[in-house]
A and B are shown apart, each in its own frame.
Chain A
Amino acid sequence: MTVLFGTLGFRSEALLPAIKDASDAEKVVFYHDHHESSLKAKSEVCSYCEQLGIKAVPVAVDDAFDFLQLAKEMKQDIRRYRKEGSGIASFNIAGGTKLMSSAALLVSILEGIPATYVHDRTLQPFHLPLLRIKYSETLTTKQREILRYLIDHRDAELSEKELADAIGVEKATINHHVSKLVEKGIVTLVSKKGDRRAKIVKVESAVELLLE
């Protein structure tokens, strides 16, 4: 089974040419929100697929502006289809909100999926020059461990000392790795409430997407 993924906004024309272009696709999984115009576009896509004998799987998203949730959902779906043995034809990212499209673009880069964009005016799909980037491979094992701990304890206000104790390493080791993560822009040191001299280690939002 070959699956085409797509994002959908108010215009079915942003997805239909990609379906036509992906001649081997047997199933189309597309993300849309609950807006009246999106629902109308969804019906048009479903009707088009039905006529062509392609299975349409519309996925309604709760919030088309929640980047992290959208990216997580898309990533999970892609992995699930792959696990079930499906091949992924491509991800058409032309429809939906900018954040929906951005989430699809990031997921395509992380998962190594070809991405297409249906041109707004010509309605011709074109292939985006993506390169698969495995961000986790640019981190050391210890850095990944630190990030994983920070993500799992996002609400905890951990100082570098507390983080070192939790992970079971020397403070100097944590200090070294945290500095590297700060340089990469995925961790920040912020002042603790009530004690501006004390710094707590905070992980940036959506970093978990880069780790898996």
Chain B
Amino acid sequence: MRVRTLICTFGFNEKKVLVAMRSIPYSRLVLVAGKDVLDGAEYRLMVALEEKSGGTVETVIVDPFDFADCYDGVDRAIRSHLTGGDVTLNISGGTKILADAAILAAFQNGVEAYHCEESMVKLPVMRGVRFEDAFSVEDVKVMENFVEGDSTKSIGARMPDLSDASLRKSLKHLERLGVIVPALEKGEARYHSTPGHRDIAALAGRCMR
């Protein structure tokens, strides 16, 4: 039987998570929260409630004001529980930055996401459509070999096994995805990472996981 995991962003208001716990079926609860939350009565209440119903709470600690840390925490939680199970995300608790990072992780991992407060809003995520699926094997290779300011010629020289047509296709695709952007420099098109993707090698690494 597949385990159903509910991952909730959590702050100092337990009510926002309780609505999700009542509305979304789950067998395992994961809370993503800032360190300070662990000392609060609200967190203790959540743990006590789960224990009474025979469950446990897994807690992922993040800096709730650091987008990258929030994203990594939620992404890790999603990926670890997706193996052999189903994951649902609720973003109603915690800081807005944590919620936004969680939504991004949900979109990019293709898991269902909800905002449960007075009403339950299901966000339009297509289950199973992951960000890795957007990249071909060639795209990942190009990202691994990419150096800031590369021209088609310079990156092609480092990837002799890749045909010119495949290289151009990958560069065009990465540009369309918003990973790189071309700029005309001294009469030649040179590629740069976009501000949101300064670490392209890390992005390639995530695709390999």
Using a CB–CB cutoff of 8 Å, the interface residues on chain A facing chain B are 65, 67, 93-94, 98-99, 101-102, 105-106, 109, 112, 114-115, 117, 119-121, 126-133, 135, 138, 183-186, 204-207, 209-210
Contacts and interface: CB of A to CB of B under 8 A. Distances in A.
B127 A183 contact: yes
B196 A115 contact: yes
A98 B99 contact: yes
Contact of A132 (B67, B96, B127, B177): B177
B5 interface: no
B208 to A, nearest CB: 16
Contact of A186 (B71, B124, B133): B124
Nearest to A138: B129
Given A114-B195, A130-B104, A106 B123 contact: yes
Of residues A94, A99, A129, A210, which shows the largest number of chain B Cβ atoms within 10 Å of its Cβ?
A129
Interface string B132-174: 0110000000000000000000000000000000000000000
Contacts of A101: 96, 99-100
Interface of B: 65, 67, 71, 91-92, 95-97, 99-100, 103-104, 107-108, 112, 115, 117, 121-129, 131, 133-134, 176-179, 194-197, 203
Of residues A98, A114, A119, which shows the largest number of chain B Cβ atoms within 10 Å of its Cβ?
A98
A129 B195 CA distance: 8
A114 B178 CA distance: 8
A133 B128 CA distance: 13
A127 B194 contact: yes
B107 A109 contact: yes
A111 to B, nearest CB: 10
Given A105-B104, A185-B125, A131 B131 contact: yes
Of residues B95, B107, B203, which shows the largest number of chain A Cβ atoms within 10 Å of its Cβ?
B107
Given A67-B123, A138-B129, A102 B99 contact: yes
A2 B26 CA distance: 46
A117 B97 contact: yes
A4 B122 CA distance: 28
A117 B65 CA distance: 11
A185 B110 CA distance: 10
A186 B117 CA distance: 22
Contact of A133 (B95, B129, B196): B129
A210 B124 contact: yes
18 contacts: A65-B117, A67-B115, A99-B121, A101-B96, A102-B91, A112-B177, A114-B194, A120-B97, A128-B67, A130-B178, A131-B108, A131-B178, A131-B179, A132-B176, A132-B177, A186-B126, A206-B123, A207-B124
Contacts of A120: 65, 95-97
